[in-house]
Chains A and B, each alone.
Chain A
Amino acid sequence: MIERALTPTLFLLCLIALFLACLLGSTPLPADRVLAALFGGAAASDRLVVWSIRLPRALAAFLVGATLGISGAALQGLLRNPLAEPGVLGVSASSSLFATFSLYYGLIAFSPWVLPIFAILGALAATALLALAAIRTQSVVTLILIGVGISSFAAALMSLMMNLAPNPFSLTEMVNWMLGSVANRSFVEIGFVAPFMIAGTAILLLTRRGLSALTLGEEAASGVGLNLRNQRIFTVVGAGLATGASVALAGAIGFVGIVAPHVIRPFVNHDPARSLVPSALLGGLLLMLADIFVRIIPSQTELKLGVVAALIGAPAFVWIAMQRRVAYD
């Protein structure tokens, strides 16, 4: 019963949050003016605020949260661990390193597709490494340690690039990538990452049934007819595409992929396959709300969205880890 209402409810809440994001801000717009602006009426200035600033920003927050939520849910299903997530596993860090590299060396001058493609390559490199490690070891602790290693290495290379940065501008740019933000995103930028997000999400959704089988462990999952190799490849590529695209849009934002599936799981009887769609919606919702928060709190310089996400998510990560019963490790 609750399960059936879950997805529509989350969808409705996302629409409300999207609308709220258009209302609230440094200059609050009343609801009637926002509605008028959304549907083509209202003054030109209102339309500009809604269509060029607030709506794309909120949409970017939603897309980033949704892709991180679904990637987290899928990786948790594949690795059979509630702590698996693009941020924790170093996928986001590796992706933002590659993205920064393309920025730093001016490669993005060649084509607007360079940035998303580099971010995706970074994400795929990390996910592939993790999947290879997952074949060799059953221990999830080992995997998370490998993720910590990838994260640290990416952070070190990032610092190296910062040291070599020719001017303070590229320094602030890099900080943006490491902390994550959706400020000043436009529909054009969304358009360049959307195809990858859609492709990654589609792959994850089409292969989600295998994630249920993996509940049994790999041996029994192949026993019931799962093609283990293909499942690994599809989940890794799907999560890599989705995470890479989200990093290309907003930089590295952590912990959404842990918190969203964790909240959803009890409502779907702990079935990884059924947790994907609600986790995506909840991830999008959380990040939209966090971004509204970032915009309305009064401060000199705007807080980074990724910082807020980590402030909420990191304690949640510690909490989940402490609750975990020792079964595998």
Chain B
Amino acid sequence: MTELRVSNLSVRVDDKALVDAASFRLKPGDLTVLLGPNGAGKTSLLRAALGLQKTQAGSSDLDGAPVTGLSPTERARRVAYLPQIRPLAWPNRVNDIVALGRFSHGAAIGKLAGEDAAAVDRALTACDLKYLADRAADTLSGGELARMHCARALAAEAPLLIADEPTAALDPRHQFRILDLIKSYVEQGGGALKDLHDIELAARYATRLIWMKAGRILAEGRVSDTLTEERLAEVYEIDAQVQGTQIFMKGAL
């Protein structure tokens, strides 16, 4: 079973600590959501955990081996990474973009065969993209684009998935659709870590929450244990009422 174990990870840029001694674990079956205000260091932590960001202290291990020692291909086969969505350089076909998820398996887009073609097909079906497969990506709506990138990450069929704000700039319906996709990926044996801005959605979907502020992890654990009014006040500086996983926000503190 693939496990990502991050311990005491620190990222500093010009003496400013973006991530300060962060530790957490991610394994299949987890749907962990990273919560924190803007500038808390969420993206830096995700990148550092993947070995894409230089770290000053601590370690990030995949199955006991340092992630920085793995080749990009080996890492990508075990952890799929969905960064914040950027515009594509070219108006490629949806099918070809999803096929890039198989890059680490040696697939060349345009000539998919065997297991690669099957995995791309499964991802397209799961994300309800079959009918768009031959469309140029620059003709898609925001929700369709988000699903396309999600399908690309799922096509890798890696045991773990790390996503950076996968629902940013989506309307509520599309946010639910993306989170449903990630949820069913976890139910099928994957482990997912993502950062979200919507606390209510996080509370509803996550099995675990990581609370982050100013580069430090303040709390980590099950939703029912860590979602409290005091914590919302501390992390987000908001006045809110919590009933179970329901949150009523009143305003800024």
Majority DSSP secondary structure for residues of B touching A: mixed
- We find that the number of chain A residues with CB closer than 8 angstroms to chain B is 29
In the complex, which residues of chain A have a beta carbon less than 8 angstroms from the beta carbon of B136? 270
CB distance from B27 to the nearest CB of A (A): 20
In the complex, which residues of chain A have a beta carbon less than 8 angstroms from the beta carbon of B81? 220, 223-224
In the complex, which residues of chain B have a beta carbon less than 8 angstroms from the beta carbon of A227? 71-73
Nearest residue, chain A, Cβ from B87:
A327
Determine if A217 and B72 form an interchain contact, defined as CB atoms under 8 angstroms apart.
no
In the complex, which residues of chain A have a beta carbon less than 8 angstroms from the beta carbon of B108? 209, 212, 273
A265 to B93, CA, bound (A): 12
CB distance from A271 to the nearest CB of B (A): 6
CB distance from A140 to the nearest CB of B (A): 10
Whether, in the assembled complex, A39 has its beta carbon less than 8 Å from a beta carbon of chain B, the answer is: no
On whether A215 and B89 interact (CB within 8 A), knowing A224-B100, A225-B72, the answer reads yes
Whether, in the assembled complex, A150 has its beta carbon less than 8 Å from a beta carbon of chain B, the answer is: no
Whether, in the assembled complex, A155 has its beta carbon less than 8 Å from a beta carbon of chain B, the answer is: no
Determine if A219 and B101 form an interchain contact, defined as CB atoms under 8 angstroms apart.
no
CB distance from A143 to the nearest CB of B (A): 13
A274 to B109, CA, bound (A): 9
Whether, in the assembled complex, A314 has its beta carbon less than 8 Å from a beta carbon of chain B, the answer is: no
Nearest residue, chain B, Cβ from A325:
B138
Determine if A270 and B92 form an interchain contact, defined as CB atoms under 8 angstroms apart.
yes
A178 to B80, CA, bound (A): 49
Determine if B109 and A271 form an interchain contact, defined as CB atoms under 8 angstroms apart.
yes
Determine if A216 and B88 form an interchain contact, defined as CB atoms under 8 angstroms apart.
yes
**Per-position contact with A for B84-126: 1 when CB-CB < 8 Å, else 0?**
0011111111001100110110001110000000000000000
Whether, in the assembled complex, B197 has its beta carbon less than 8 Å from a beta carbon of chain A, the answer is: no
Whether, in the assembled complex, A159 has its beta carbon less than 8 Å from a beta carbon of chain B, the answer is: no
Determine if B103 and A213 form an interchain contact, defined as CB atoms under 8 angstroms apart.
yes
Nearest residue, chain B, Cβ from A216:
B100
A270 to B88, CA, bound (A): 11
Determine if B109 and A223 form an interchain contact, defined as CB atoms under 8 angstroms apart.
no
CB distance from B13 to the nearest CB of A (A): 15
Determine if A216 and B97 form an interchain contact, defined as CB atoms under 8 angstroms apart.
yes
In the complex, which residues of chain A have a beta carbon less than 8 angstroms from the beta carbon of B104? 224-225
Whether, in the assembled complex, A323 has its beta carbon less than 8 Å from a beta carbon of chain B, the answer is: no
A274 to B108, CA, bound (A): 9
Whether, in the assembled complex, B82 has its beta carbon less than 8 Å from a beta carbon of chain A, the answer is: yes
A216 to B88, CA, bound (A): 5
In the complex, which residues of chain B have a beta carbon less than 8 angstroms from the beta carbon of A105? none
A222 to B82, CA, bound (A): 10
In the complex, which residues of chain A have a beta carbon less than 8 angstroms from the beta carbon of B149? 220
Determine if B72 and A222 form an interchain contact, defined as CB atoms under 8 angstroms apart.
yes
A271 to B109, CA, bound (A): 8
In the complex, which residues of chain A have a beta carbon less than 8 angstroms from the beta carbon of B80? 223
Whether, in the assembled complex, B18 has its beta carbon less than 8 Å from a beta carbon of chain A, the answer is: no
Determine if B82 and A223 form an interchain contact, defined as CB atoms under 8 angstroms apart.
yes
Nearest residue, chain B, Cβ from A328:
B87
Determine if A215 and B100 form an interchain contact, defined as CB atoms under 8 angstroms apart.
yes
Whether, in the assembled complex, B76 has its beta carbon less than 8 Å from a beta carbon of chain A, the answer is: yes
Determine if B89 and A80 form an interchain contact, defined as CB atoms under 8 angstroms apart.
yes
Whether, in the assembled complex, A272 has its beta carbon less than 8 Å from a beta carbon of chain B, the answer is: yes
Determine if B103 and A269 form an interchain contact, defined as CB atoms under 8 angstroms apart.
no
A124 to B4, CA, bound (A): 41
Determine if B86 and A271 form an interchain contact, defined as CB atoms under 8 angstroms apart.
no
A27 to B251, CA, bound (A): 88
Within 8 A of A (CB), among B108-153: 108-110, 136, 149, 152
Q: Pick from A212, A214, A222, A327: contact of B109, CB below 8 A.
A: A212
Determine if B89 and A269 form an interchain contact, defined as CB atoms under 8 angstroms apart.
no
A272 to B86, CA, bound (A): 18
A228 to B88, CA, bound (A): 17
A81, A209, A213, A224: most-surrounded residue (chain B CB, <10 A): A224
Top 3 A-B residue pairs of the complex, sorted by shortest distance between their CB atoms: A225-B76, A225-B104, A223-B81
Show 30 A/B contacts (Cβ-Cβ < 8 Å), sorted by A: A3-B110, A80-B90, A81-B89, A209-B108, A215-B88, A216-B86, A216-B89, A216-B100, A217-B86, A217-B87, A217-B88, A217-B89, A220-B81, A220-B83, A223-B81, A223-B82, A224-B76, A224-B101, A225-B73, A225-B75, A227-B71, A227-B73, A268-B110, A269-B92, A269-B93, A270-B91, A270-B136, A271-B90, A274-B110, A328-B87
Residues of B within 8 A of A (CB): 50, 52, 71-73, 75-77, 80-83, 86-93, 96-97, 100-101, 103-104, 108-110, 136, 149, 152, 156
Residues of A within 8 A of B (CB): 3, 80-81, 209, 212-217, 219-220, 222-228, 265, 268-274, 327-328
